[in-house]
Structure 1
Amino acid sequence: MASFATNIRIVATVCECAAIVTTTLRLYYRGSRGHVGLDDAWAAFSLLAAFFLLAGAWIRSDTSLPLDKRVMGYFMLNSCFTCVLWSARMSILFSIMRIIPRLMNLRRHSYFCAALFLAMWIAVLAQKLYICTHHTAWQAQKNVQCVLGEAVGAVELATDIVADAILVALPVRLLWDIGISPPTRKLLMAIFSASMITTVVSIVHTAFELGPDRDAEAIAAHVEAAVSLIICNLAVLVTWLVRLLRHGEDLESGGWADSSTGAPRRRTQVTSLRFSDNPTILLSGSATRHSGLDDDVVSRAERLTSSAKRRRDSDSFPAAPPRGAPEVSTVTLAPDTKMQDGDVDQRSSETH
């Protein structure tokens, strides 16, 4: 038992410290640039859970403490492991949502995925706590570890595979047609596809969870938690590294190009129809087709735009439009992943 206590403390300390350092760097970078978002809030929550996970590992493995305190340490360890894992996934999901335009249906799908992640998180945590509180024989044993059984292992593995597959599918779907250079697209896809590494570690952890080796299960749990949190920070840290190597240029700021030819891509033209008595209607010649609007709606907006332009060119002093008539104008919306969600609404409401 003394050997296992030493090993688990070493593994837990090394893994959690690596995750804590990467998360701290991520939060420092985002905070220094003033780009803190919901994905950083989830990362901060995961960082806090990682501290309690490390503390629980040390308390549970301290044989000099009474059993009730070691049992408390195990509950802290077990619950915080699940919280680290799922809050890291929520952070990755909200990082993807930061770069999804509001006009795309994919953004609504990502909100549904966030609700699904939260439901799976609660289900896994509730199942674990139920089993460990209703089967109390393990609390009198020296190793102080609850045997979760096949039911928990199957639910954990299924939810891990579903969640990690979603975290890979969403950015691949977004980046497949977006106008960025092929090297940048490949780099971003590789970063977001790293979530599958968590699935591989999760399979190993589940295999030990279903087997008789409880010590290996505990070690695999710490490795899985650390890997999930490090991958959660990977996109931000790689962006920071690229910014340093390119002397201040962001990963997303350069190389916007057509997805098929690699030629520079024209910025999205957003048409704004304003009525004096009605709210603003936003239509886009290219983005609306991806957002699910009908083609005839888009074509009517384009005809209104071209008609207004001809009237403006033919009349050097155009008369003010009557009350209730639409004023047609265009604005340019450049892809910028560093913008906050509120910035998109503000820019799209300005006309020239």
Structure 2
Amino acid sequence: MVHSASVRESMIASGVLDSLVLLVFIFRLWIRIRMQRVGWEDIWATIAFFCGMLNVTSNWAYLGKLKVGQVSTTAMWIYMISLTCLVWAVRVSIIFSIIRIIPARERLHIHGLMIVTFFLLTCSALVVQRAISCSYAYRVIQSSTSSPYFSCSLRPVLIISELAVGAIADIITVIFPLYVLRRVTLPRKQLRLLRLLFSSSIAVSIMCSVRMAFQIVPSLTSWAIFMTDIQVQCPSSGPLLPSRWLD
């Protein structure tokens, strides 16, 4: 059971952070468009941003209904799908930022595209997995009650599989920029950008782990929304922001 005070605190904190993220994201995107340097990393940062906004909004509805034991069906579906898309869009945005500074003739450029393909396929598989699991839960609930609300909780085996796949993706996201640093000779400005991206990949990995812990521990569930907001901020206003000067 989530206490109302904890819900209010998490919603206020996330609301303030949402406003800051929105302003920084608009500023970042405006500068990139003005300098005509919009790339795939910006597109995926935009996708992550909107997925994050959908996730936060649906999470508000989720937390608001928990105190009476009901969860909006629409909010639950949006929450489950947007959360998965958010996490993987952040990773794809970081990888595309690294690919952009690797010369096209380098084999690592192809390796980066292969990583992106792996991430997208994994994200699609996880979304389908969640959809099937929640559809089954929805049918079971609808057959036993006439309530328009339902709560979709993943089975332990699915949670473990998502944790394992996420850990592998985080390891790849951290190791890839290190490998590029060792194998590719880059100008000083691009080296600085690559170090920033490496820091970003570590930060995203830590936040993914903390957010997952908040979701697993019932007493900390309400603060998962706050960690999701911070994760939205990473691709929108993190190390990718100064990249316009480091190209």
Q: What TM-score, normalized to structure 1? A: 0.58
By how many angstroms is 1:150 displaced?
1.9
Give the corresponding residue for 1:229: 232
- Residue identity opposite 2:206 in structure 1: V
Task: Tell me, in whole angstroms, the C-alpha distance in 1 between the residues paired with 2:190 and 2:37.
Answer: 21
By how many angstroms is 1:193 displaced?
3.0
Give the corresponding residue for 1:163: 169
Tell me which structure has the larger Cα radius of gyration. 1
By how many angstroms is 1:138 displaced?
7.3
Question: 1:45/1:207 Cα in 2 relative to 1: closer, same or farther (>3 Å)?
Answer: closer
Give the corresponding residue for 1:311: none
Equivalent pair of 1:150/1:210 in contact (CA under 8 Å): no
Q: Cα RMSD between the aligned structures?
A: 3.2
| SS at structure 2 position matched to 1:101 | coil
Task: Tell me, in whole angstroms, the C-alpha distance in 2 between the residues paired with 1:58 and 1:103.
Answer: 47
| SS at structure 2 position matched to 1:75 | helix
Question: 1:19/1:151 Cα in 2 relative to 1: closer, same or farther (>3 Å)?
Answer: farther
Report 1 or 2 for greater relative contact order, CA contacts < 8 Å, sequence distance ≥ 6. 2
* Runs (5+) with no aligned partner, structure 1: 241-249, 253-352
Question: 1:170/1:126 Cα in 2 relative to 1: closer, same or farther (>3 Å)?
Answer: same
**Aligned match of 2:185 in 172, 178, 182?**
178
- Residue identity opposite 1:216 in structure 2: L
Task: Tell me, in whole angstroms, the C-alpha distance in 2 between the residues paired with 1:152 and 1:210.
Answer: 13
Equivalent pair of 2:99/2:109 in contact (CA under 8 Å): yes
Deviates more, 1:187-196 or 1:91-100: 187-196
1:1-352 equivalence runs, <5 A? 2-63=4-65, 70-136=72-138, 145-176=151-182, 177-181=184-188, 185=191, 188-211=194-217, 213=218, 216-220=220-224, 222-233=225-236, 234-239=238-243, 250-252=245-247
By how many angstroms is 1:117 displaced?
0.1
Task: Tell me, in whole angstroms, the C-alpha distance in 2 between the residues paired with 1:144 and 1:47.
Answer: 27
Task: Tell me, in whole angstroms, the C-alpha distance in 1 between the residues paired with 2:99 and 2:28.
Answer: 17
Equivalent pair of 2:133/2:154 in contact (CA under 8 Å): yes
Equivalent pair of 1:79/1:125 in contact (CA under 8 Å): yes
CA offset digits 1:249-268 (Å, max 9, x no partner): x334xxxxxxxxxxxxxxxx
> Aligned pairs, how many?
237
- Residue identity opposite 1:25 in structure 2: F
| SS at structure 2 position matched to 1:50 | helix
CA offset digits 1:57-92 (Å, max 9, x no partner): 2333444xx998722112212211111111121111
Equivalent pair of 2:193/2:246 in contact (CA under 8 Å): no
By how many angstroms is 1:18 displaced?
4.0
CA offset digits 1:30-71 (Å, max 9, x no partner): 1111111121111112222222223212333444xx998722
- Residue identity opposite 1:27 in structure 2: L
Task: Tell me, in whole angstroms, the C-alpha distance in 2 between the residues paired with 1:87 and 1:187.
Answer: 20
By how many angstroms is 1:156 displaced?
2.3
* Runs (5+) with no aligned partner, structure 2: none
- Residue identity opposite 1:185 in structure 2: L
Equivalent pair of 1:5/1:61 in contact (CA under 8 Å): yes
Higher relative strand content: 1
Q: What TM-score, normalized to structure 2? A: 0.80
Equivalent pair of 1:165/1:196 in contact (CA under 8 Å): no
By how many angstroms is 1:113 displaced?
0.6
CA offset digits 1:125-170 (Å, max 9, x no partner): 22222222212477879x9643223223222222222222222222
Equivalent pair of 1:56/1:74 in contact (CA under 8 Å): yes
